[in-house]
Amino acid sequence: MTTALITGSTAGIGSAFARRLAGDGHNLVLVARNTERLREQATELHDRHGIEAEVLTADLATDDGIAAVEKRLADRRNPVDLLVNNAGFGNKGQYLEVPMEDELTMLKVHCEAVLRLTSAATESMRERGRGGVVNVASVAAFVPRGTYGASKAWVVQFTQGAAKDLAGSGLRLMALCPGFVRTEFHERAGMGTSNIPKWMWLDADKLVAAALADLARGKTLSIPDPRYKALMGVVKVTPRALLSGVTSRTGRKYGPQ
């Protein structure tokens, strides 16, 4: 039986990954900051699906938290076969409105943690000649959206570059770029969502199913919905100056996961 490690597992997309992978028979390592919620989640998934669910409390905004997950990923006796780097958050406000400390924390979680955990996982996986990594980014990676969009753009570029370097090793790396998903993401960031059209909202469980199918196909980039694929096609041909004007009014305040 294979094992998947999911960061930010107790809510939103991370929780959807946990439900789907447990349902498919994978053992899990669940990573988040809240030990009580992790234990409740582990018990529920074990009782429902008969899988083993390990709890690892870690704050990926800290060096100690990242190091704890690195250590688990490096365990050759209990190897992790799939890493889902899902932990992340948004800051409410435009550039210079957000405290520098919060901006740096975002970069640590979205970039440094993703780099270090992907590296720890793939080093072990490459020795076995198999394994996968899903790094959760966002469609915000493709539009000018301040630190959040820039950090997610880094995740996309890093993941695709690493996938190219590891081609032929038996590993699959993929950047997942969802749009607006009904999760706790916006509520935690204090962001309003009333102005977001209904058609832009995605279901987390369907998103995860599409993402795992893309990973199985060997894709390095997944935009798992026809609506957003079409929207990103428009973005590619839209002048950057026009995109900047639109996202400066809406993107930072109502950014997608």
Residue 165 lies in a domain: yes
Summarised one tens digit per residue, pLDDT across range 74-119 is: 999 999 999 999 999 989 888 899 999 999 999 999 999 999 999 9
The reported pLDDT for the residue numbered 198 is 67
| Mean pLDDT, the chain, integer | 87
| Average pLDDT of the segment spanning 187-203 | 61
The alpha carbon of 129 is separated from its chain's Cα centroid by a whole number of angstroms, namely 24
Residue 256 lies in a domain: no
Query: 35-49 and 12-23 helices cross at what angle (nearest 10)?
Result: 30
Residue 175 lies in a domain: yes
Domain count, the chain: 1
**H-only helix segments in 74-145:** 100-107, 113-128
Tell me: pLDDT of 245 over 60: no
- The CA-atom distances, in angstroms, between 74 and each of 121, 210, 244 are 7, 28, 41
The reported pLDDT for the residue numbered 252 is 40
Residue 155 lies in a domain: yes
| Average pLDDT of the segment spanning 13-35 | 98
The domain that contains 170 carries what CATH number? 3.40.50.720
Tell me: pLDDT of 200 over 90: no
Q: How many CA atoms lie less than 13 Å away from 201 in the CB half-sphere?
A: 12
Residue 109 makes CB contacts below 8 A (sequence gap 6+) with 60, 61, 87, 88, 89
Residue 255 lies in a domain: no
**Mode of pairing for the β-strands spanning 82-85 and 201-202:** unpaired
Strands (E), the chain: 3-7, 27-32, 53-57, 82-85, 131-136, 171-176, 180-181, 201-202, 221-222
Residue 211 lies in a domain: yes
Give the domain range for residue 113. 3-250
Q: Which two tokens stand for residue 57?
A: 């409390």
- The CA-atom distances, in angstroms, between 20 and each of 24, 108, 197 are 6, 28, 27
Tell me: pLDDT of 206 over 80: yes
**Given 95, 148, 228, 254, which residue is catalytic?**
148
The reported pLDDT for the residue numbered 202 is 84
Tell me: pLDDT of 48 over 80: yes
Share of the chain above pLDDT 90, in %: 72
The reported pLDDT for the residue numbered 218 is 97
* Length of the chain measured in residues: 257
Flag the least confident range among 30-44, 114-128, 155-169, 188-202. 188-202
Summarised one tens digit per residue, pLDDT across range 172-184 is: 999 999 988 865 5
Share of the chain above pLDDT 70, in %: 82
Tell me: pLDDT of 186 over 70: no
Tokens 């006796």 belong to: 77
Phi-psi region for residue 256, left (φ > 0), alpha (ψ -120 to 50) or beta? Answer: beta
The reported pLDDT for the residue numbered 225 is 77
Tell me: pLDDT of 249 over 50: no
Q: How many CA atoms lie less than 13 Å away from 33 in the CB half-sphere?
A: 9
Any catalytic annotation for residue 148? yes
CA-to-CA distance for 17 and 9, rounded, in angstroms? 8
Residue 257 lies in a domain: no
CA-to-CA distance for 31 and 15, rounded, in angstroms? 11
For the chain, helix (H) and strand (E) counts, in that order, are: 10, 9
The reported pLDDT for the residue numbered 184 is 53
